[in-house]
Amino acid sequence: AHTKTKIETGNGNNSLPAPDPQQKLLQVVLVSPQIPGNAGCIARTCAASAVALHLVGPLGFKVDDNKLKRAGLDYWPYVVVRIHGSWAEFQNYFKQQEGDKRLLAFTKRGTAIHSDFSYRKGDYLIFGSETCGLPPDVLLDCKSETFGGGTIRIPMVETYVRCLNLSVSVGIAVYEASRQLNYEQLQVPSTNSGDFEQSLLTEDIFA
């Protein structure tokens, strides 16, 4: 049987089920990503690490972009992807989620080094656009006392390199956080049951 990519539209509807609990240990959020190849590579990393992926608009590409498909190879069926039209829409979704949760902003001006920071279950790893980084309102939310967990940076020599590639940065962050959590999300057997398939709004984005 053909397996469809799990796509949820982020319209803030309370009736939409949350992603599989396996996916809730860590989640990656891309705010206004512009390069489909990067998003595809990140989706592949999320599939490999059993981490959910959120795309927050406005996006610089369509979700059926061929470059997005190629970069993700054939791993898209194993990624839970939720698309939010705006940061406000994502905020609404985030606030509805139960349990402990934090927003962690990854930025070159972060106050904590990624490998020194203590990650927890329920952390959302937030990354900005390749061209503009994270917007001020997103940074404020990540610094807030209510849901914010702070700002994090990945150290690098800036003499010759302005920034790391977005997909590389996500990979570094996801695997450091996963290491600290003893790769717990990888210990849960993956499920592709029909019941789980039916529990999500699904769409074959490559049809």
Q: How far is the C-alpha of 177 from the C-alpha of 139, rounded, in Å? A: 20
36 found inside a domain: yes
Torsion sign (Cα): 186, 123, 62, 204: positive
Average pLDDT estimate for 35-47? 90
Query: What pLDDT sits at residue 207?
Result: 27
Query: What pLDDT sits at residue 123?
Result: 97
- Identify whether the C-beta of residue 48 lies closer than 8 Å to the C-beta of residue 185: no
35 found inside a domain: yes
How many CB atoms are closer than 10 A to CB 163?
14
- Whole-model pTM: value is 0.80
How many CB atoms are closer than 10 A to CB 115?
13
* CATH number, residue 86: 3.40.1280.10
Q: What are phi and psi of 7, to 5 degrees?
A: -115, 130
148 found inside a domain: yes
* Position 203 pLDDT exceeds 60: no
152 found inside a domain: yes
Domain extent at residue 39: 26-183
Lowest mean pLDDT among 31-40, 54-63, 169-178, 183-192: 183-192
| Integer angstrom CA distances of residue 41 from 60, 75, 87, 105, 161 | 15, 10, 22, 20, 21
Tell me the residue type at 99: G
Residue percentage of the chain with pLDDT more than 90: 58
Q: How many domains does the chain have?
A: 1
* Position 198 pLDDT exceeds 80: no
Residue percentage of the chain with pLDDT more than 70: 72
The pair of structure tokens assigned to 161 is 């390199």
71 found inside a domain: yes
Where does the pLDDT of residue 12 fall: very low under 50, low under 70, confident under 90, or very high at 90 and above? Answer: very low
Q: How far is the C-alpha of 80 from the C-alpha of 91, rounded, in Å? A: 18
195 found inside a domain: no
Query: What pLDDT sits at residue 56?
Result: 97
* pLDDT tens digit sequence for 46-100: 988 999 999 999 999 887 767 666 655 566 666 778 999 999 999 999 999 999 9
